[in-house]
């Protein structure tokens, strides 16, 4: 069974440019997560989707970050415009999902390593 | 608020040594879940174990074992007879049950280096 797929794996952009990351979760997983991981830190949740609905987005800097999961499968995370401090690894994860399923095991993709110059 | 502390930033051992990675957590919930993940240099977090707060039984999986103690709010991870392939960053994470803040919290990770 295929795991969580993310692309691109690496991205280098200049500040003020837009950037987008794509994630395809494990087949059948209804819950999708986007995390930010700074160097030497653990992942921090940006947003969580239950199917196509964003149910946890309090950590998402909405002035420049946006995300969508239009058909409840693939998801895109966008930054516009990017700032130097956005350089980090952006991880996508998925889990089975469903009512009252907090504490589910999340399966992670390889991440996108972003460098903003 | 929930919190996870991994006090060991980096541990260096020689192959075949046993090593224990510490994890201390804080939560006000009586129902919660604890996890360990491994992050090799490739970057992908690999799930190792999930434990709910009502199950304090220690668990062993091959060379890996976990010691969950609610009395000290700890969920420590031991690798027996370490191997070079165990070199990675290991993260402990906490997730609270319905009614609490769902947002899972990760520790800062412990970098394990196993020398041949």
DSSP helix/strand/coil, B29: coil
To 5 degrees, how large is the angle CA B18–CA B49–CA A108?
Answer: 115
CA distance B89 to chain A (A): 9
**Is B45 at the interface with chain A, CB within 8 A?**
yes
B96 vs A: CB within 8 A: yes
The SS3 assignment for A86 reads helix
Report whether A17 contacts A82 (CB < 8 A).
yes
Q: How far apart are CA A29 and CA A4, in angstroms?
A: 10
Mean pLDDT within B106-112? 96
pLDDT digits (tens, 9 = 90+) for B22-34: 999 998 888 889 9
Longest CA pairwise span in chain A (Å): 42
pLDDT at res. B34: 92
Closest in B44, B102, B107 to A108, CB measured = B44
Using alpha carbons, select from B97, B4, B44 the residue that is nearest to residue A93.
B44
CA B64 vs. chain centroid, Å, equals 11
Task: Note whether B79 contacts A: Cβ–Cβ < 8 A.
Answer: no
Q: Distance (Å) from the C-alpha of residue B4 to the closest C-alpha of chain A?
A: 10
Q: Give the pLDDT confidence score for residue A71 in this predicted structure.
A: 86
- Give alpha helix (H) positions in A54-112: none
Among A101, A103, A107, the strongest candidate for a mutation testing the B interface, having the largest count of B CBs within 10 A, is A103
Are B101 and B42 within 8 A, CB to CB?
Answer: no
> Cβ contact (<8 Å) for B109 and A42?
yes
From A65, A44, A45, A42, select the one nearest A55 (Cα to Cα).
Answer: A45
Q: Does the pLDDT at position B101 exceed 60?
A: no
Is A47 in contact with A57 (CB distance < 8 Å)?
Answer: yes
Shortest distance between the Cα of B3 and any Cα of chain A, in A, equals 12
> Residue B109's closest CA among B23, B50, B51?
B23
For residue range B36-88, what is the model confidence (pLDDT) as tens digits? 999 998 888 999 999 989 888 888 889 999 999 999 999 999 999 999 999 99
DSSP class of residue B81? S
Q: Is B46 on the interface with A (CB under 8 A)?
A: yes
Q: Dihedral sign, CA of B52, B39, A79, A16?
A: positive
């Amino acid at each position: 069974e295929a795991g969580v797929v993310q692309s691109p794996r690496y991205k280098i952009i200049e500040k003020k440019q837009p950037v987008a990351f794509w994630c395809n979760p494990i087949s059948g997983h209804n819950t999708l997560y986007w995390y930010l991981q700074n160097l030497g830190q653990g992942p921090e949740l940006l947003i969580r989707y239950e199917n196509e609905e964003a149910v946890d987005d309090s950590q998402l800097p909405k002035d420049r970050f946006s995300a969508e999961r239009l058909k409840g499968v693939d998801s895109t995370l966008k930054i516009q415009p990017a700032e130097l401090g956005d350089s980090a690894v952006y991880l996508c994860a998925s889990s089975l999902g469903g009512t009252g399923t907090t504490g589910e095991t999340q399966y992670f993709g390889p991440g996108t390593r972003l460098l903003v110059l | 608020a929930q919190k996870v502390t991994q006090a060991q930033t980096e541990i260096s051992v020689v192959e075949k040594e046993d090593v224990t990675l510490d994890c201390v957590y804080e939560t006000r919930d009586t129902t919660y879940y604890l996890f360990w993940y491994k992050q090799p240099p490739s970057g992908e977090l690999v799930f190792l174990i999930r434990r709910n707060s009502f199950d304090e039984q220690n668990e062993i999986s091959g060379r890996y074992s976990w010691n969950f103690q609610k009395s000290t709010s700890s969920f420590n991870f031991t690798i027996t007879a370490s191997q070079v392939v165990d070199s990675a960053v290991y993260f402990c994470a906490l997730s609270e049950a319905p009614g609490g803040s769902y947002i899972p919290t990760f520790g800062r990770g412990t970098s394990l280096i196993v020398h041949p």
